[in-house]
Amino acid sequence: MSVSSKSSNKPPSVTVVAAGREDLEGIASCHEAAFPGEFLTLLGSGFLRAFYRFYIDNPDGICVMAIDGENKRIIGLVAGGKPGLRAAFTRRHILRFLGTSFCKFFIHRRVRRRLGEHFVGLLRKIGRKIHLIPPEKYPPAPEEPSGTWSNLLSVCTHPDYRGCGVGKMLMEAFRIESGRRGYSTMRLSVHNDNDAAIAMYKKSGWTPILTVPSGTYFKRSVGNEP
């Protein structure tokens, strides 16, 4: 797959292509630059490489990257695919995840906060399941029929290349790849304070479907028209 942008203020030689194992180093450093201080970044570049390798190797995973053709630098990436892949990654790498998180837990406040959020999310899920929490209090995102939708997990542009249309190219690449795999809908969630990402999703034809304190869910049809 190869996507080229029509945006006029984009550096001329940027292309978006499927990522391979040989790109993992560049992918991890792009992620670190784009998400400084974020949970996965704090877990370290070894962990990041394992994370993206999982999406590259998994037939249900989507991992595409933007490359500046002039210096061959990886300047953006988008990852996702079949819903549940992130949970599958955590299960596969549970010992590494727990070990790394445990070490970083004592060093980074952000890691403590994120693990706390995961824990609270898990408690709410259990609470809803055993009818301890009314569903309207912390509503889950509306369900889609299984097998019909792809989940966009992460998208980023290196800070040196922002505002040039790279993000929109990546969103388009994800849409095309989702269509190629037979999905009819795409979903994602984003923190409510991430104004740049929210603006980009709206510009790329995505629609907010639910806002809860932990974030907003967006949806877009894979067809050309949102």
Ligand X SMILES: CC(C)(COP(=O)(O)OP(=O)(O)OC[C@H]1O[C@@H](n2cnc3c(N)ncnc32)[C@H](O)[C@@H]1OP(=O)(O)O)[C@@H](O)C(=O)NCCC(=O)NCCS
Among 195, 223, 192, 189, CA closest to 209: 189
Across the beta sheet with 73-81, the strand order is 2-4, 14-18, 61-68, 73-81, 149-157, 185-190, 215-221, 207-212
Q: Is 41 in the site for ligand X (CB under 6 A)?
A: no
Q: Is 168 in the site for ligand X (CB under 6 A)?
A: yes
Question: Which among 18-26, 129-137, 199-207, 213-221 is the span making contact with ligand X, rule CB under 6 A?
Answer: 199-207
The nearer residue to ligand X, 198 or 222, going by C-beta atoms, is 198
Going by C-beta distance under 8 Å and a sequence separation of 6 or more, which residues neighbour residue 135? 128
Q: Is 186 in the site for ligand X (CB under 6 A)?
A: no
Q: Is 163 in the site for ligand X (CB under 6 A)?
A: yes
* Residue in 40, 88, 197, 209 binding ligand X, rule: CB under 6 A: 197
The nearer residue to ligand X, 183 or 201, going by C-beta atoms, is 201
Q: Is 192 in the site for ligand X (CB under 6 A)?
A: no
- Three-state secondary structure call for residue 222: coil
Task: State the alpha helices, DSSP H only, in the chain.
Answer: 24-34, 39-42, 45-57, 85-92, 94-105, 109-129, 166-180, 195-203
Q: Min. distance of Cβ 190 from ligand X in angstroms?
A: 5
* Residue in 74, 164, 173, 222 binding ligand X, rule: CB under 6 A: 164
Number of residue whose CB is nearest ligand X: 167
Binding site for ligand X (CB under 6 A): 34-35, 154-157, 162-168, 190, 194-197, 199-200, 203
